């Protein structure tokens, strides 16, 4: 594969970089002026997916891979929040978007990416379920961080996200998150007493 033309892959890597500047628009409704980017969100989703997968006896690496790719189509659509989808005719199928994105990739590489996105969207494999729970849990954690920064409106996202987590491991982790302060990690690292 190294002898193949990787120019289309290079172009995609630049395209994927736009997710670092693509804001998660649902947070604007909560009054967050400068919300996280899609790339910020996807990184932590991948980390959480690997943890939930381990708790669920699924493949952590595969769950993280599914999570990394779960929002790549937003390079082409932007991040359309749930209310916006009501007026925009729904959501473009991520499988169609990624098919366009990888159409010029070397065949073997394109096939892998298509399979990853298709598995996530099918919502059937244990790893896909873990990755989808990670997406909800990351939103819940981000909501807690925004709430702790003084935005009470974020509570809606916390509650809605928690209610949509389906795996036992994801639910247990969500409960632990809810019982933990967003800066408890810093206090523990500094050896400060728990509040």
- pLDDT per residue, tens digit, the chain (195 aa), is 668 899 999 999 999 999 999 999 999 999 999 999 999 999 999 999 999 999 999 999 999 999 999 999 999 988 887 777 778 766 788 999 999 999 999 999 999 999 999 999 999 999 999 999 999 999 999 999 999 999 999 999 999 999 999 999 999 999 999 999 999 999 999 999 877
Euclidean distance between the first and final Cα of the chain, in Å?
55
Q: How many helices (H) and strands (E) does the chain have?
A: 12, 0
> Structural domains in the chain?
7-189 (1.10.3210.10)
Give the DSSP letter string of 117-144. Answer: HHHHHHT-SHHHHHHHHHHHHHHHHHHH
Predicted local confidence at residue 3, as pLDDT: 81
Q: Using alpha carbons, list the distances in angstroms from residue 137 to 34, 77, 128, 178.
A: 20, 23, 14, 11
Is the overall model pTM greater than 0.75, yes or no? Answer: yes
Report the SS3 class of residue 37: strand
CA nearest neighbour of 174 among 55, 82, 23, 69: 55
């Amino acid at each position: 594969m190294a002898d193949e033309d990787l120019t289309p892959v290079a172009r995609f890597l630049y395209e994927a970089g736009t997710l670092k500047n693509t804001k998660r628009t649902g947070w604007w409704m909560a009054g967050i002026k400068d919300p996280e980017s899609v790339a910020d969100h996807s990184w932590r989703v991948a980390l959480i997916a690997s943890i939930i997968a381990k708790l669920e006896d699924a493949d952590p690496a595969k769950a993280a891979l599914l999570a990394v790719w779960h929002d790549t189509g937003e390079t082409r659509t932007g991040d359309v929040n749930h209310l916006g989808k009501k007026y925009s005719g729904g959501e473009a199928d991520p499988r169609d978007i990624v098919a366009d994105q990888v159409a010029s990739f070397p065949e073997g590489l394109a096939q892998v990416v298509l399979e990853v996105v298709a598995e996530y969207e099918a919502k059937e494999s244990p790893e896909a379920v873990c990755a989808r729970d990670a997406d909800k849990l990351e939103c819940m954690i981000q909501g807690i961080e925004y709430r702790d920064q003084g935005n009470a409106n974020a509570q809606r996202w916390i509650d809605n996200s928690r209610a949509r987590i389906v795996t036992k491991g994801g639910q247990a982790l969500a409960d632990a998150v809810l019982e933990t302060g967003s800066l408890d990690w810093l206090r523990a690292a500094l050896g400060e007493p728990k509040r």
